Structure 1
Amino acid sequence: MTSSTLILLPGLMCDADVWMPLYPQLPTRHTPWVPDYGLNNSLTAMAQLVLQQAPADRFALAGHSMGGRVALEVVRLAPQRVTRLALLDTGHLPRPGGEAGAQEASKRHALLHIAQTQGVRAMAQTWVQGMVHPDRLMDVVLIEAIVGMFAHKSADVFACQIEALLARPDASDVLRTLTLPTLLLCGAQDSWSPPAQHEAMRALAPHAVLDVVADAGHMTPMEQPEAVAQSLSRWLRDGSDLGSSI
């Protein structure tokens, strides 16, 4: 059977480790590839890097968190190269104006200050408290996997990615034009990118389907890898029998 490329885009301060738990359960005919965004400080630049370095002309594309926003920019730039799209625990709107936008910037810069003064690991230990299902906060193996992954990156990378997220574009127009098989997925307890946010995305792309993963926060690929792999496997197979609560 001919192998096809599956590009997996990691989120803020994440790398291939966020996807690794899924690999044993994904169809073997799809070869995964995970990029490194380096010091790119815009989502468009990250998307351009993906398109330049992608190991195939056409590919299935999945993005988690910030990676979902990068995926939408890839589709904006080169829709003809993407065969199907999965957006996990992500969003599509720009940073809001007014007080809400100022508060977001303040919270992100506070985390950056911790990374710059105390180290990325210390920042990650603070960040992770709101990013997993509350019941998993005492799961030492999971928390260390997440914190250790963040520690692979530098505070300079964190600064660049925060800059990119604060300047994120509105991707509503991309969602409206989607005609390829599209999966939306999030954790039921994702407080950062909640199910309601994904319902709003589905309203713009009504042919897309939404899977809500039970007992998971924002880090669904690491919190519930079996459920996420099942959903992605269905999406990779034919994209026609999705849409359930797992």
Structure 2
Amino acid sequence: MTNPLVLLPGLLCDNAVWIEQRRVFGKERPCVVPDYDLRSSITSMAEQVLAVVPDVRFSLAGHSMGGRVALEVIRIAPERVERLALLDTGYQSIAEGEAGQKEREERGNLLRVAQEKGMWAMGESWAPGMVHPEAVDSRVFAEILSMIERSSPERFEAQISALLNRPDASTQLRQINVPTMVICGRQDAWSPLARHEVMSEAIPGACLRVIEDSGHMTTMEQPVAVSAALGEWLDWTVEGA
């Protein structure tokens, strides 16, 4: 049997983020979308992934916060990962000084909205910046809001804690020795293309794919283009496979 494809969702996301990819690739291989439950650190999320995935080598793709979890998975258990895809994500820890304080305040403000007014209200203020400007008020945007509403303030608080205390993977990038693809939406305002260019240059042999007409939520905004890129990635020959 073909080894599993493990698909890691981002902040407040669930398997809806990967619905098209599961449809396309699930015909050929098991597709696993782990649930982080209420884990409140990137490391504990990575440990959860390793605990729920069958004890075989697997292809690993992470979107947004899931990309950070993917980097932690391959740090903890490099022998388990046969290839890596990082989508609309980052690798640095929280900035020092004013920039870091601003991030803490903005995330704290969103959490208060979620606690006081509910997840949908929080999503309405947060999610517009996550998509291409033309996607706001679209069917995809409504699906994103519904996904956010399915979560809870408790989960949001746990995942915010994980992100505010995220590890810095800067030195790790050059140590990654599996076939790696870096994917980013051209109009991603949350995790900009310039960051992904740095990542793809730092990871030995990595390949960068830019998804046109897409913001941060590439897998939902442009699912066909993302699946095409991941299909190419899955077709790469892996040593020892």
Indicate whether the TM-score tops 0.5. yes
Partner of 2:226: 228
After TM superposition, the score normalised by the length of structure 2 is 0.96
Preserved contact between residue 108 and residue 162 of structure 1 (Cα < 8 Å):
yes
Partner of 2:19: 20
2:192 to 194, 198, 201: 194
Kindly tell me: are residues 118 and 239 of structure 1, through their superposed partners in 2, closer, same or farther at Cα, counting changes over 3 Å?
A: farther
| Moved beyond 2 Å, runs of 4+ | 21-28
Q: 1:206-234: CA deviations, max 9, x gaps?
A: 41010010000000000000000000000
Preserved contact between residue 13 and residue 153 of structure 1 (Cα < 8 Å):
yes
Q: Which runs of 5+ in 2 are unaligned?
A: none
Q: 1:68-121: CA deviations, max 9, x gaps?
A: 000000001000000000000000000000000000111111110110000011
Shift of 1:144: 1.3
Shift of 1:27: 6.4
- In structure 2, distance between residues paired with 1:50 and 1:23: 17
Shift of 1:125: 1.3
- In structure 2, distance between residues paired with 1:78 and 1:217: 31
After superposition, where does 1:76-155 map in structure 2 within 5 Å? 76-139=75-138, 141-155=139-153
In structure 2, what residue type is equivalent to 1:49?
Q
Partner of 2:212: 214
Partner of 2:7: 8
Does structure 1 residue 67 correspond to structure 2 residue 66? Answer: yes
Which one is further off, 188-197 or 50-59?
A: 50-59
Partner of 1:162: 160
Partner of 2:53: 54
RMSD of aligned residue pairs (Cα, Å): 1.2
For residue 231 of structure 1, give the secondary structure of its aligned residue in structure 2: helix
- In structure 1, distance between residues paired with 2:181 and 2:118: 36
After TM superposition, the score normalised by the length of structure 1 is 0.94
For residue 180 of structure 1, give the secondary structure of its aligned residue in structure 2: coil
Give aligned pairs, total.
238
Q: 1:21-42: CA deviations, max 9, x gaps?
A: 2233336322110011011000
Partner of 1:42: 41
